Structure 1
Amino acid sequence: MTPEIAPQPASSRRDFLKSAGCLTIAFVLGSGPNLLAGASRAADELPEILAKNPRINAWLEVLADGRVRVLTGKTEIGQGIRTAVAQLAAEELNLPMERVEVVLAETGRTPDERYTSGSASIESSGMSIRYAAAAARQQLLGLAAQQLRVKASLLRLTDGVIHTTDGKHRLTFTQLLKGKHLQGEVKLPVQLKARSEYRHVGKPVLRDDIERMVRAETVYVQDLRFQGMVHARVLRPASYGGQLAKLDTAAMQHQIPGLLKTVIDGSFVGFIAKKEYQAKQAQDYGIQHAQWTNGPNLPAKQPLPELLTTLPAITRRAVNKGDMSSFDTAKTALSPAAASLSARYFKPYLMHGSVGPSCAVALVDSEESLHIWTHSQGVYPLRATLAALLKIPPERIHVKAVPGSGCYGHNGADDVAADAALLARAYPGRHVRLQWSRDDEHAWEPYGSAMLMQLDARLDAEGRITHWQNNIWSDTHSTRPGGKPESLLAARLLAQPALPAPATEVSSAIYRNGEPLYAIPNQRLDAHYVQGPLRVSALRGLGAFGNVFALESFMDELALQAKQDPWEFRLRHLTDERAKAVIRRTREMIKNEKLAPGEGFGLGFAQYKNQAAYCAVVAKVHVAEEMGTIRALHLWAAIDAGETINPDGLKNQTEGGMIQASSWTLKEEVLFNEQHVTSRQWETYPIFRFDEVPAVTVAIIDRPNEKALGAGEAAQGPTSAALANAVFQACGKRIRSLPIRPEKLVQIKES
């Protein structure tokens, strides 16, 4: 595979479009007649990202051959964005799917949509493309009506051709636009296609990239190869905070054939070689012979849950509802029929666990412009960060997104891109491919934060929750660079390092989903931001995974305290009918399932961020304490993501989320000693193997008249709670500290 270098940022957009042979439309929409028979919906508000960037040519290009090129600033990280946005554009323009081309995030080419995160791809980029395509259809039909001198209501747009209803007149895009560029912006009203006429949206469309993955074809950034490319590796300190003391590069150059250059800047060390194996040999030599000073010791001797509550904290009262003044279970007398409950839950540090270690390709060309191929979730923020790191104008940096083998949040993608950029600057004129090793990835990626959740509640005589208090201790859940080089590993190691400053406020990601959706009159939530010992950033779901695990485990414990069925207990505390619907649907899904000895069912529910997709999960597990096994047998999920664009894609996301969350819940935990992370290989950081993956069944509650909601992270928290609740039903033992491993059940028995 020898990809061409994309147009340099210095090139004008007009020049690029001329070379691409396309006709770009941009225009002002006024309040005109209904330009498509049967259309019945008018957009009453533009998506926020479209309102900020309303030029149609930022989102859509109509090509001379009747195809359409869609431009999205989102990257493909497994969520199927390429397929979904193609469906939306094809629908509004009455095109077959194969005539829609999708260009993913690339600086100077696609809109700046910041990061692909927060399950927001469809809500932001997808809806922007829908409205841009609808606007394009309106304008094309209006132009054709003028040229043919017929009423717009007598025209149809089908398969890239505009024709009259009697078939006597037709215009191709080439005939209609005649090579001209129409200028302007998308403005309301935008007439959307009637749902009754949908051909693509709401229908399952298979992702063609999945077959390519299965066949091990060239899909990922790790697969990129360029003519004349050289290979690189980096050498990291022996401990957190370590500094380079000595490395004999002369002896190394003599012993490693093919070693082209060793780059040392402070404690940043990189090796460039002709072949990948030679670069790996250089890295291995450095590991064996480099001398480092040690950084400060990590607090490995103190249990992590205990440590979190003793660290200096910044506190925010995020929720304060009703009257909590009398809520003190230790001092306030309760009526004989009332009850209170207190429980503490813990989530450890988690890895992204990407199957393919982070990789990037960088090139400094003859004009001293930097080109980066990366699996970063944000090409524009990465460009700004590299500009600050390298002290060059952003216009001289071109960043192109290429899917990576595994993502799930802010892993090492931005770090490896910075590593590659620094080495490409030291070795200009050649593509430099920098591949992290498994040890690099496991030891240095930014992890999902450890969290401690203390929940306290009170029930009245009827078993209703009257008071609810939640205290959360957590590190931040995002240190994405966003233009700040101090968030990059390499920047911290340079001779003139950029060091991150401690956060001064509590991020809302810490208490994401920490407020229950249930109708509880008196509530209080205090979020305590602490700076933990390990490097952390965004991992799928952010704080929602730990918070929903705690909240929904606690709901089961409260249901037991109230002597109520867990399903009915939740339904009694919900007023949102859509929330009730997903819970009821899961109960219907398992009505014919039977439990054998040692098996149990468990339920978990959440609306992601309390504003995105609703998801309920039921887990069926088998616990065999004498054999030391906990096995997830089957997971069922009901999900309501509003209008479903691609049912197949929504199921993919939900199934994958449940399986990943099961691995987090039952197996995964980052461990460290006083010097460094010790979970540096799959043997010391085990994840689910194929034979451990449970059966998964997903039911979609489609609501075509509702707003499309983000769904990519909806299943994580509910799955964890469902598993914990199922383990309790199977063996009567409550595990509140993740991961739920068999030895913890034994410890409960012994205690």
Structure 2
Amino acid sequence: MSTRRTFLKQAGCISIGFSLLGPFSCISEGKGSVMPYSNKEIDPEQIDAWLELLADGRLKVITGKMELGQGISIAVMQVAAEELQVEIDRVSIHLAETGVTPDEGITAGSRSIETSAMNVRRAAACAREVLISMAAEKTGLPVSEMRLENGKIKAGNDEFDWTEIIEGEQISKQVYEPEEIYAKTRRKLVGTPVPRPDLEKMIRGEEFYVQDLRFPGMLHARVVRPPSYKSGLKALEEQNLANTSGFVKLVRKGSFLAVIAEKEYQAIKFQEEINKRCEWESKPIPSTPEELKSYLKSLPANSAIDEERGDWSSASGGKVVKASYSKPYIMHAANGPSCAIAIYENEVLQIWCHSQGVYPLRDTIANMLDLPKEQVYIKGVPGSGCYGHNAADDVAAEAALLAKEIPGRHIRLQWMREEEHAWEPYGSAMIMEHEASLDEKGQIQTWSYELWSDGHSTRPTSGDPANLLPGRYLEKGFGVPGPGWRGGAIRNAPPIYKTGAFKLTSNIFEGPLRISALRGLGAYANVFGIECFMDELAEKAGKDPFEFRLAHLEDERAIDCLKKLKDMTSGVQAETGQGFGIGFAQYKNSASYCAVAALVETSEEETKWAVVKKMWGVIDSGECINPDGLKNQTEGGMIQSASWTLLEQVKWDANGITSLDWETYPMLRFEEIPVVEVEVIDRPEMPPLGAGEAAQGPSAAAVVNAISAATGNRLRDLPVNR
């Protein structure tokens, strides 16, 4: 049977990148060989920044966004293929590589389709019009008689390969507003459920992820972690390490400590041994409080009134309703621990990693290592699916540090499971307090909302090494990130519903744990609280939850979304011990509309335990590029949100994080996943909207509202299955 090792010996090189990601490249056997790289400036205003017309009639699409499992690759390929009239199996895509793809910042905020795919679409439509115009000039025939098909331009009885028209060059003209977008006028490929080509690789267990990459002569590394965030390295016993088989180097820079070995298992054993030899300065963190809400509210906070509108003086009498909700710190909890590979040679640092932003990471690592950014090259390679800022940037920065210590050798660094759980940046804990008044007709007169949260997102976007985990431990002392991004905490905090008056107050604290962006940022908690509160208001008003929401909506697309969900679930009958609930939101109040319903079942044991039996979803993302992909995105978001809502919670004590595995940090198992049904409202005439994070908040509210319906008790603190 052929093994990876025998394959490498026979091939003499290794493929870097994958057929999905672009052309194969090879690395020759022997020390000192590196990948071809480029650090030229890519002008996103040029057509050839986004696509390459290949000599055999194939099309290569170029995007600075990263495939995180969300299926962006096939959607971007579809929009390009539509405009250039190429069969989809003749299209490849090249993702996220400095000096090769445009700088599109971070793959985040559900904006990949809205931005990158639309940039590719415009560039492809421009390329088509330029090609046809050039062919018309070449043949003397009118443009109206030209047609483009699979890399060939057909004009009357003549037929040209597109490379003949551009004479082996690429179209370097500036992107303009094309006269026609075929996806709007002809719509042959866009809007169809084209299968993702990467799924087959995953199912077959082929080499696809960054964890699968191997290089000749590659070394392996592990980082020796302190017991808690603020601990510093006081002393280390190094005797006899150098004489141990497989040992290559011990790297100590301030309190950053790592070991490099010939083989991965050796690196793991050295990590364990060195950890026993370390003496750390003890700086405990606050233990997990018994009452998280009161603890978080006791922290110093930066408070601000973020929004105030309407006439408060007109409200009088009526029913006043108050409720307080909360969510704990939760993890990304990627199934595959973070991994990166780096090599430093000829004063160039090359990194392969699953970062969501290769250009911002390049600039930040360059600052951390005092290198010109032109000497840092990063190629994005898929990692374990993740929505938000997990440890991908951290592991890349650590691998870069170690590569500089041994020039000319590839250094592979992979985190262990307990490291991933303990050191990734989490989604913030939040408290959400609502107070509203209803008039005699059951309409909302006033609504006051006050929230407490860490700032969301401490990504390395500003070039500050403090936003990389090793930055805080190096002798240079880059420190730790500030309070993060306030705007992430108030995402979706203003309700979409009409009210007589509304006031939003946010209190941003710096909590005890490392935090950053997690799927939806503050929208998950904000929508959860708002939609549970809407159910409580509906109950006070004596209204059906569907009808109460519809009575407070003016946006026709929002109304259509809820009505479709109501039709989908019209035959659902909750049995004894079961409950039915709904939730709704427009993500960021500007992106996709999503309505979710859940049927749950509760069991009487020592405490009630809820199981989600089925979930229904309706998603309106404007123009739908790939309905299968959009459904998959929404289904995945609903299931992940159900897991957060029922089970997930980071726990810690004075010595550090204690939820270090899948027992202490449980999530839904396969047998616990509910049946999920999703319908798409396709609006081809509308612009596409971001959808990847739309389902999180509505799903949480639907589950908790269903539990409340089943039990008669209103649950306001997550997770509900404690």
Superposition deviation, residue 12 in structure 1: 9.1
Q: Distance in 2 between matches of 1:567 and 1:464?
A: 14
Aligned-partner Cα distance in 1 for 2:35–2:61 = 17
Q: CA deviation at 1:445?
A: 0.5
1:345 corresponds to which of 325, 329, 348? 325
Asked whether the equivalents of residues 458 and 516 of structure 2 are also in contact (C-alpha less than 8 Å), the reply is yes
Deviations 1:560-583 (A, max 9, x none): 010100000000000011101111
Q: Provide the residue aligned with 2:99 in structure 1.
A: 108
Q: Distance in 2 between matches of 1:464 and 1:277?
A: 65
Aligned partner of 2:278 in structure 1 is: 290
- Taking the aligned partners of 1:297 and 1:378, their CA distance within structure 2 comes to 31
Task: State the match for 1:638 in structure 2.
Answer: 618
- The yes-or-no answer on 1:420 pairing with 2:399 is yes
Q: 1:334-386, CA deviations, whole angstroms, 9 ceiling, x for partnerless residues? A: 53xx2010000001000001000110000112x12000001110000000001
For residues 272 and 683 of structure 1, what CA distance do their matches in structure 2 show? 30
For residues 228 and 44 of structure 2, the distance between their equivalents in structure 1, rounded to whole angstroms, comes to: 45
Asked whether the equivalents of residues 342 and 412 of structure 2 are also in contact (C-alpha less than 8 Å), the reply is yes
In the alignment, which of 155, 159, 176 is matched to residue 165 of structure 2? Answer: 176
Q: Decide which of 517, 521, 529 is 2:500's aligned counterpart.
A: 521
Q: CA deviation at 1:215?
A: 1.9
In the alignment, the residues of structure 1 paired with residue 380 and residue 251 of structure 2 have an alpha-carbon distance, to the nearest angstrom, of 26
8 Å CA contact 1:513–1:548 kept in 2: the answer is yes
Question: Given the alignment of the two structures, is residue 735 of structure 1 paired with residue 711 of structure 2, yes or no?
Answer: no
Residue 115 of structure 2: aligned partner: 124
Matching residue within 209, 221, 227 for 1:220:
209
> What's the TM-score, normalizing by structure 2?
0.94
SS state at 1:244 partner: strand
Task: Give the counterpart of 1:237 among 223, 226, 236.
Answer: 226
Partner of 1:426, secondary structure, is coil
RMSD between aligned alpha carbons?
1.6
- Pick one of 33, 37, 41 that aligns with 1:8: 37
Query: Any residues of structure 2 matched to 1:57-456 within 5 Å, and which?
Result: 57-164=48-155, 166=156, 168-193=157-182, 195-254=184-243, 256-301=244-289, 303-324=291-312, 335=317, 338-365=318-345, 367-456=346-435
In the alignment, is the contact (CA less than 8 A) between 1:664 and 1:739 conserved in 2? yes
- The question of 1:648 aligning with 2:628 is answered yes
Note the C-alpha offset of 1:313.
1.2
Instruction: Compute the displacement of 1:674 (Å).
Output: 1.5
Unaligned segments of structure 2, at least 5 residues: 5-13, 17-25, 27-33
Deviations 1:610-651 (A, max 9, x none): 000000000000001237421000010000000000001001
From 478, 491, 497, the equivalent of 1:498 is 478
Deviations 1:257-293 (A, max 9, x none): 2011110111101111111000000111122221111
Task: Give the distance between the partners of 1:632 and 1:194, measured in 2 at CA.
Answer: 39
1:542 paired residue number: 521
- List per-residue Cα deviations over 1:443-478 (Å, max 9, x = no partner): 110000000001000000000001001001000110
Aligned residue for 2:29? none
Q: In structure 1, what is the Cα distance between the partners aligned to 2:184 and 2:170? A: 31
Task: For residues 473-493 of structure 1, give each alpha carbon's deviation from its aligned partner in whole angstroms, at most 9, with x where no partner exists.
Answer: 000110001111011111111
Match of 1:718 among 688, 698, 722: 698
What's the CA shift string for 1:103-147, capped at 9, x where partnerless?
000000000000000000000000000000000000000000001
> Is the contact made by 2:336 and 2:384 (CA closer than 8 Å) also made in structure 1?
yes
Report the AA paired with residue 249 of structure 1: E
Q: Is the 8 A contact 1:119 1:712 kept in 2?
A: yes
One-letter code aligned to 2:567 = E
2:477 is paired with a residue whose SS is: coil
Following TM superposition, the consecutive aligned residue runs of length 4 or more in structure 1 with deviations greater than 4 angstroms are 10-13
1:635 and 1:695 in contact (8 A); partners too: yes
Query: Structure 2 vs 1, CA of residues 722 and 12 (structure 1 numbering), >3 Å: closer, same or farther?
Result: closer
Question: 1:86 is paired with a residue of what secondary structure?
Answer: helix
Instruction: State the identity %.
Output: 49
Aligned-pair distance for 1:190? 4.0
Alpha-carbon separation, structure 2, partners of 1:438 and 1:501: 24
Contact 1:352 1:408 in 2 (8 A): yes
Residue 10 of structure 1: CA displacement?
Answer: 5.3
Is the Cα–Cα contact under 8 Å of residues 131 and 190 in structure 1 kept in the other structure?
Answer: no
1:642 counterpart letter in structure 2:
G
Paired residues of 1:252 and 1:285 also in contact (CA < 8 A): no
Alpha-carbon offset, residue 98 of structure 1: 1.2
Task: Decide whether aligned partners of structure 1 residues 10 and 613 sit closer, same or farther in structure 2, where only a CA change above 3 A counts.
Answer: closer
Work out whether residues 129 and 178 of structure 2, in 8 Å CA contact, stay in contact via their aligned partners in 1: no
Change (3 A) 1:501 1:200: closer
Please tell me whether the aligned partners of residues 315 and 506 of structure 1 are also in contact (alpha carbons under 8 angstroms). Answer: no
Q: Is 1:610 the equivalent of 2:598?
A: no
State the distance in 2 between where 1:441 and 1:137 align: 46
Q: Find the residue that maps to 2:216 and give its secondary structure.
A: coil
Q: Distance in 1 between matches of 2:612 and 2:477?
A: 47
- Please report the TM-score for the alignment, with normalisation by the length of structure 1: 0.90
Q: Contact 2:343–2:400 (CA<8 Å) still a contact in 1?
A: yes
Q: Show the counterpart of 1:666.
A: 646
Which residue identity is paired with 2:107?
A: T
Contact kept in structure 1, 2:48 and 2:171, CA below 8 Å: no
Query: Would you say the 8 A contact 1:600–1:729 is kept in 2?
Result: yes
Tell me what 2:557 maps to.
Answer: 578
Amino acid at match of 2:36: P
- Does the 8 A contact of 1:72 with 1:103 survive in 2? yes
Superposed counterparts of 1:551-566, under 5 Å: 551-566=530-545
For residues 480-521 of structure 1, what are the alpha-carbon distances to aligned partners after superposition, in whole Å with 9 as ceiling and x for unaligned?
A: 011110111111111222013634x86111110010101112
Partner of 2:452: 473
Q: How does 1:17-36 map to 2 (within 5 A)?
A: none
Equivalent-residue separation in structure 2 for 1:141 and 1:506 (angstroms): 47
Letter in 2 for 1:67: R
Is the Cα–Cα contact under 8 Å of residues 644 and 708 in structure 1 kept in the other structure?
A: yes
Q: Does the C-alpha gap of structure 1 residues 718 and 194 become closer, same or farther in structure 2, counting only changes over 3 Å?
A: closer
The DSSP-based 3-state class of the residue aligned with 1:419 is: helix
417, 442, 466: which one aligns with 1:463: 442
Q: In the aligned structure 2, how far is the partner of 1:459 from the partner of 1:360?
A: 55
**How far apart are the structure 2 equivalents of 1:263 and 1:674?**
28
Aligned to 1:685: 665
State the shift of 1:206 in Å: 1.0
8 Å CA contact 1:240, 1:675 repeated in 2: no
Shift, 1:185, TM fit:
0.8
Provide the C-alpha distance between the structure 2 equivalents of 1:280 and 1:95, rounded to a whole number of angstroms.
49
Alpha-carbon distance in 1 for matches of 2:297, 2:364 = 34
The change in CA–CA distance for 1:189 and 1:88 in structure 2 (over 3 A counts) is: closer
Report if aligned partners of 1:471, 1:527 keep a CA contact under 8 Å in 2: yes
In structure 2, C-alpha distance between the alignment counterparts of 1:295 and 1:487, rounded to whole Å: 21
Contact 2:344/2:350, CA 8 A, preserved across alignment: yes
